[in-house]
Structure 1
Amino acid sequence: MNTRYRLMLLALSGLLLVSCVLSLGFGSAPVPVEVVARVLLFKVFGIAPDVPAWTAGQEHIVWLIRVPRMLLGALVGGGLAMIGAVLQAVTRNPLADPHLLGVTSGATLGAVLVVLHVGELIGVLTLPLAAFVGALCSMLLVLAIASRHGRLDSDRLLLCGVAVAFVMMALANLLLFMGDHRASSAVMFWMLGGLGLARWELLAVPAASVLLGLGLLLGMARALNALMAGEQTAVTLGLNARSVRLLAFLICSLLTGVLVAISGSIGFVGLMVPHIARRLVGAEHRRLLPVSLLLGSLFLIWVDVAARTLIAPEDLPIGIATAAIGGLFFIGMMRRR
C-alpha cells in the first residue's frame, strides 16, 4: 500500500467525516453547524457547556432524525457502490449495477404484499423484513433459472435477472393497481427510494452487513482481479471461476437485499461510483473496494441533503435524484464507449 493511496484514503475519510457533520445542518428546519457540533459532542462524548446552547427541538432533530438518516445514507451509498464494483468485475460488464439481478424488484413485491394484504405484524420491522424476504426469493429464483448443466454463465445470469425483475415489478404494479389506493400510497415513497425509515434501532443490521460484506469481498480480491482479467486467466491461476462467481453473486445479492429493504430502490449509485473510483486507484480490488465505499457514502449523503432541501418541507425521493444523475452519467459513458 503506497503513500499516495494512504493519503487518498485519509483524505476521503476526513472529507466523509466533515460531510457527515455539515449535512446534519440542512433540511426544512436548518440547524447551525456549531449547534450540530455541540449536540454531537454532548451525545457521543458527554461534553456539554454549563448552559446548553441548543433547544430540545434542535437536539431531537439532529440526534433522533438526521443522524440515523445520515448514517443510513452513508451505509447504503457505500454498500451499493462496493457491490457495483464487484458485479462489474465478475460479469466483465462496465454497466453492471446492484439491481440487475432482480433483487430490488423482489424486495418491492415483498413490501407491496405486506402493506396491502398483511399489515404491520411485528411493528416497524415488518416492511424491511418483508422486503428482504422478497429480495432473497428473487435472488434464488434468478440463480435457479440461470444455472444450466451445473454452470453459471455471466451473460445468462444478467438476462435472467432482467427477466425476473420485469415479472416481479409487473406483479407488484398489479397488486398496487388492484389494492386500496390509500394504502398503496404508503409504499410508493419506499419504491422511489428514500431514507425516511432510518431509526437508531434499524441501523445495526445494515452496518453489520456492510462491514461483513467488505471483509468477505476484500478476502476475494485476488480472485476478483483474476475474473476481471478473464476466465482463462482465473483458471490459469488455479481458481474455480464458477464457485468464485457464485459466491460473489450471493454476497452481493444478500447485501443488496438488506440495503434495499430499508432504503427502497436507489439506483445508479453502483453504476457510477466504481468507475470514478477506478479512475482514482485503478482496478485492483484491495484498493478499489474501500475507495468505492467511501465515495459512495459521500455521494449519497449529499444527494440526501439535496433531496430534503430542494422542495422543503417535502422530501424528494432519493431514487429520483440518483436516477437523473445516473441517467446522464450512463449517456456519457455510452457516448465515450
Structure 2
Amino acid sequence: MQDTSPATSRTAVVVRRSATGSRRTGTKTVLFVVLVVALIAAILVSAGTGQLGIPPQEILGSLLRKIGIDWLPGPSHANGDQTLWSIRFPRVAMAVLVGASLAVAGLIMQAIFGNPLAEPGVIGISSGAAVGAGLAIVFGLTIFGEWTTAIFAFGAGLAATLIVYAMSRAEGKTEVVTLVLTGIAVNAIAGAAIALLTFLSDTQSREQIVFWQLGSLANSRWSQVMIVAPALAIGLCAAYFVARKLDLLALGERNARHLGVNVEVLRITMIFVVALLTGAAVAFAGIIAFVGLVIPHLMRMILGPAHLPLVTASALGGALLLTLADLGSRTIVPMADLPIGMLTALVGGPFFFWLLRRTRKRSGGWG
C-alpha cells in the first residue's frame, strides 16, 4: 500500500523544495561563472583588437605591471602600452560601466513600475537626458566644471522619469499602454528639442549632438570613467539595499504596504537612482537603447523574480552586451566606427516586439 500519511506528504514537499532550491542555486552559480568568464574574455579581445593587434597575454602583462607584478610579458610593440592605456582601456571601461548602468537602471524601472516594458530608452529617459547634455554643449555651460554635462543630463533625465511616472499611473497601478504612449510622447518632444539645439548650434556642437543621437564610445577618456564609475557604484548599492523591498513590491502595492514597505518613498528614491545611472551613461555615451530592456528580462527568465541576484546578473550581462556591441562597432565595417546605439537597437528592437506581443497575450489584450 502507498503511504499517504501527513508526515510522508510533508517530507515529500520538503524534498521537492530542497531539490528546487538546489537547482536554482546551481543555475545561479553557473550563470555568474559564465557571465564573468565571458566578460573577461570580451574585455581582452576588445582591448587587443584594432589596427595594432595585441595578444591577450600581453594585455594581461600590461595590466599586471601597473600593480607591480612582472609575471607576463608586456606589449612587444613600442606603442603598445600607450595605445592600451590612452585609447583602448578607457573605451573598454566605459563600455563595461555604461552597459552595467543601463541594465541596472532598466531592472529598477521594471521593478518600480511593475512592467517588463519599462526601459530608459523605450520610455524616453535617455532622450530626455540627451537634451540636458545637449543644452550644456550648445550653450557652453561649465557651471559644475567637468561634471556639468553629466549633471544637466541627470536633471533632464529625472524630469522625463517623473513625467512618465505621473502620466502612466491610474488607480494605483501603471498601465502598459499609457507607459508606452507616454514614452513615445517624451521621445518626440526630446527629438524636437534636440533638433532645435542642432539648428542653433555651431559646427562643432552640431557634431556632438549628432553623436548623442547615435551613441558611441569612440571618445572615451579616463576622466569620464571616473564620473560614471561612482554613479554606477551608488546605483548598485541602492539596488542591493532595496532588493528585498522590490521583491515585496512585485507581490502588489497593497501587499507590499501591509508588509511595511513605503511604496511611494521607494519609487521616488529609485527614480532618482535611475536618473543618476541613465544620466551619467547618456552624458558620455549618447543614446544607447534596449540594453535596459533586453538584459534584465533575460536574467529574470533564467534566475526567477528575486532581485538580489538579478542586480548582479543584470550588471554583468549589460557590461558583456555593450562590450561585445562596441567590439562589433569597431570591426563589422573595416576602418570605420559604427554607432553603437544602432547595433543595440538592431538586437533590442525585435526583442521589444516579441516582449510586447507576449505581454499583450498574457493580459488578454489591451482593451
> Does the alignment reach a TM-score above 0.5?
yes
Alpha-carbon deviation of 1:147?
4.8
Unaligned runs of 5+ in 2: 1-20, 360-367
**Could you say if the C-alpha distance between residues 260 and 331 of structure 1 is closer, same or farther in structure 2, counting changes exceeding 3 Å?**
same
- The answer on 1:90 being equivalent to 2:144 is no
Alpha-carbon deviation of 1:284?
0.3
Out of 30, 46, 54, the residue aligned to residue 53 of structure 2 is 30
| SS of equivalent to 2:277 | helix
Residue type matched to 1:22 in 2? V
| SS of equivalent to 1:229 | coil
Alpha-carbon deviation of 1:74?
0.7
Select between 108-117 and 317-326 the one with higher mean Cα deviation: 108-117
Alpha-carbon deviation of 1:44?
3.9
**Could you say if the C-alpha distance between residues 201 and 94 of structure 1 is closer, same or farther in structure 2, counting changes exceeding 3 Å?**
same
**Alpha-carbon distance in structure 2 between the residues aligned to 1:247 and 1:273:** 23
> Would you say the 8 A contact 1:152–1:242 is kept in 2?
no
After superposition, residues 110-121 of structure 1 pair within 5 angstroms as 110-118=132-140
Structure 1 segments (4+ residues) deviating >4 Å? 119-123, 144-149, 155-162
The residue that corresponds to 2:197 in the other structure is 175
The residue that corresponds to 1:19 in the other structure is 42
**Alpha-carbon distance in structure 2 between the residues aligned to 1:11 and 1:28:** 29
The residue that corresponds to 1:8 in the other structure is 31
Residue type matched to 2:333 in 1? I
Deviation sequence 1:187-230 (CA, Å, 0-9, x none): 31232111123212221221122122111111111111122221
Deviation sequence 1:292-326 (CA, Å, 0-9, x none): 11111111111110001112322111001001111
> Would you say the 8 A contact 1:193–1:318 is kept in 2?
yes
Select between 99-108 and 307-316 the one with higher mean Cα deviation: 99-108
Out of 153, 156, 159, the residue aligned to residue 140 of structure 1 is 159
**Could you say if the C-alpha distance between residues 14 and 161 of structure 1 is closer, same or farther in structure 2, counting changes exceeding 3 Å?**
same
Residue type matched to 1:25 in 2? G
Residue type matched to 1:94 in 2? P
Q: Kindly tell me the number of residue pairs found equivalent between the two proteins.
A: 332
Alpha-carbon deviation of 1:238?
2.1
**Could you say if the C-alpha distance between residues 152 and 180 of structure 1 is closer, same or farther in structure 2, counting changes exceeding 3 Å?**
farther
Give the structure-2-normalised TM-score: 0.80
> Would you say the 8 A contact 1:75–1:207 is kept in 2?
yes
Deviation sequence 1:165-187 (CA, Å, 0-9, x none): 43232111122134434541233
Alpha-carbon deviation of 1:66?
0.8
Alpha-carbon deviation of 1:285?
0.2
Alpha-carbon deviation of 1:75?
0.9
Select between 52-61 and 84-93 the one with higher mean Cα deviation: 52-61
Residue type matched to 1:215 in 2? C
Give the structure-1-normalised TM-score: 0.87
Out of 181, 188, 201, the residue aligned to residue 223 of structure 2 is 201
> Would you say the 8 A contact 2:245–2:261 is kept in 1?
yes
After superposition, residues 241-252 of structure 1 pair within 5 angstroms as 241-252=263-274
Alpha-carbon deviation of 1:241?
1.4
The residue that corresponds to 1:311 in the other structure is 333
After superposition, residues 136-285 of structure 1 pair within 5 angstroms as 136-140=155-159, 143=162, 147=166, 154-155=174-175, 162-181=184-203, 183-285=205-307
The residue that corresponds to 1:70 in the other structure is 92
> Would you say the 8 A contact 1:107–1:130 is kept in 2?
no
**Could you say if the C-alpha distance between residues 213 and 146 of structure 1 is closer, same or farther in structure 2, counting changes exceeding 3 Å?**
closer
**Alpha-carbon distance in structure 2 between the residues aligned to 1:201 and 1:170:** 31
Alpha-carbon deviation of 1:146?
5.3
The residue that corresponds to 2:7 in the other structure is none
The residue that corresponds to 1:129 in the other structure is 148
After superposition, residues 35-46 of structure 1 pair within 5 angstroms as 35-46=58-69
Alpha-carbon deviation of 1:159?
5.6
Q: CA RMSD in A?
A: 2.9
**Alpha-carbon distance in structure 2 between the residues aligned to 1:323 and 1:111:** 21
After superposition, residues 291-330 of structure 1 pair within 5 angstroms as 291-330=313-352
Deviation sequence 1:34-69 (CA, Å, 0-9, x none): 3323322323434277x9652232222222211111
Identity %: 33
